[in-house]
Homo-oligomer: A and B are copies of this chain.
């Protein structure tokens, strides 16, 4: 049990609460052994710090993938304790580099690692597919006996009585929870900025955001302080940090992975259903994570989850993978590095005989944003604002943007909310019809044939945004509104020599202008070393198909095109 927090209930100011939380965090980091050497300056690109501070073995361990680590530990070539210690040290360093940690869990993780090592040695087998693999977890998810504040100063002091359901399952599968990570105030930013911990930055370029709301995970895993983490996503909160940090990240279709034991405002809301999912340094890491959870049949404990097993089917044994490319959502045009990376991938795919490429015409993505922004806060944002007001903490800039300056937020009556849900459902049906219209024929039994399998698209209108500028959610929230599974993968990074050429573009609306002006202002140099990632999207509950599609895309293109530096 952690020491009791200073709280507003005990009369502290929000600043005092925040200072205490940070001091507590630092105290957990001070437990790392051996202690980290002092770091005088944080460079623009923090990744090389690791090689200055950590041992070669630690580097080797922490830059391994989930699947390699699991295999090495299972073979007894590395102990879970050694692995955990290496990740604890690198996570501590990640905190210094980009401010992504809420607390380290050295006691818990090392005790668990010891148990696992003993288990393996006594039983000659692993306890599960994640035996000894370190896993990081967004503060949004409860951890037994620890504080659970969801990013609100006023909630500091709430203690989780037990681990979140997903934490229980992953631990039973062998995972070792070593660190909890930051999230933004309100959980509703595509960045990570709170009054409790300040701003989490991007490890590849500290002038940029790590994304959000699972931005602590993004930065930490981007820095390799973890190889697998749990994020949550209602508008892009897994995908933006995955993309901004060159990671794999999946937002599955809703109601497949269990959410019990997370905390947030608006409990009981179901107009837009949030999801939970993995961020990882490998695609296989995401897959092992999802499969381990579904194999545990979470629906018995959490009956809102759907009891359908993971499909082991080969979706492309009899047909080519048909990918539709969405270059631009028609609302906000992506910055040149995104379009360039997308073009490189598409050009390679066009050469493949296993893939067919067509164009995806976006269907009213501007309307989609209005609909989802109207349904996110059906109480007009009252619960969010109350949670902030209770401690007198100020609203962060992006909280204002999404809550108080957002023209689509409405304090609904039950009646008007139902009407808004009808509009949502109509849009979903129209989008489904739009997808159905890609069929090239109808079989004798009425089956649509030759439809697009997957959409390939940007994750946002640029690489990781400059701090406090991540305003256009449409490239990710689109798929929350539709409840389509979406998978992020790294492609390249911003390269000034390739991306720096001036372009002449007349923005088509205010949102587009805001985004394009940023590019004009900072140019490619402003995004130096920033990862560039893309997104694959499938239809509802085609999660397995989306993953297989990425396996094919990677095989056909040889992505990612960058190495880790």
Contacts and interface: CB of A to CB of B under 8 A. Distances in A.
A447 interface: yes
A425 to B, nearest CB: 6
B303 A431 contact: yes
B268 A417 contact: yes
Interface string A294-326: 001101111110111000000000000000000
A39 interface: no
Contacts of A433: 301
A12 interface: no
Given A299-B540, A306-B541, A268 B418 contact: yes
B419 A540 contact: no
A300 B412 contact: no
Q: How many chain copies?
A: 2
Contacts of A379: 413-415, 418
A270 interface: yes
A53 interface: no
A189 to B, nearest CB: 22
Interface string A437-461: 0000000001110000000000000
Interface centre among A300, A428, A447 (most CB of B within 10 A): A300
Contacts of A412: 414
A313 to B, nearest CB: 11
Contacts of A421: 268-270
Interface string A538-563: 01111000000000000000000000
A30 interface: no
A36 interface: no
Nearest to A173: B446
B541 A308 contact: yes
B540 A425 contact: no
A244 interface: no
A389 interface: no
B418 A267 contact: yes
A429 B302 contact: yes
A405 to B, nearest CB: 21
Contact of A428 (B303, B418, B429): B303
A446 B415 contact: no
A354 interface: no
A539 to B, nearest CB: 7
A422 interface: yes
Contact of A436 (B300, B411, B431): B300
A463 to B, nearest CB: 32
Contacts of A539: 303, 307
Contacts of A358: none
A383 B542 CA distance: 37
A432 B268 contact: no
29 contacts: A172-B446, A266-B418, A267-B418, A267-B419, A268-B418, A268-B420, A269-B418, A269-B421, A270-B270, A299-B540, A300-B432, A301-B429, A301-B432, A301-B433, A302-B432, A303-B429, A303-B482, A303-B483, A303-B539, A304-B425, A304-B428, A306-B540, A307-B541, A308-B541, A378-B414, A379-B413, A379-B415, A379-B418, A413-B414
Given A267-B418, A268-B420, A303-B482, 19 more contacts: A172-B446, A267-B419, A268-B421, A296-B446, A300-B448, A301-B436, A302-B429, A302-B432, A303-B431, A303-B432, A303-B539, A304-B425, A307-B539, A308-B308, A379-B413, A379-B415, A379-B418, A411-B414, A414-B417
* Across the A-B interface, the 10 shortest Cβ-Cβ residue pairs: A268-B418, A268-B421, A268-B422, A303-B432, A379-B414, A303-B428, A378-B414, A307-B541, A267-B422, A412-B414
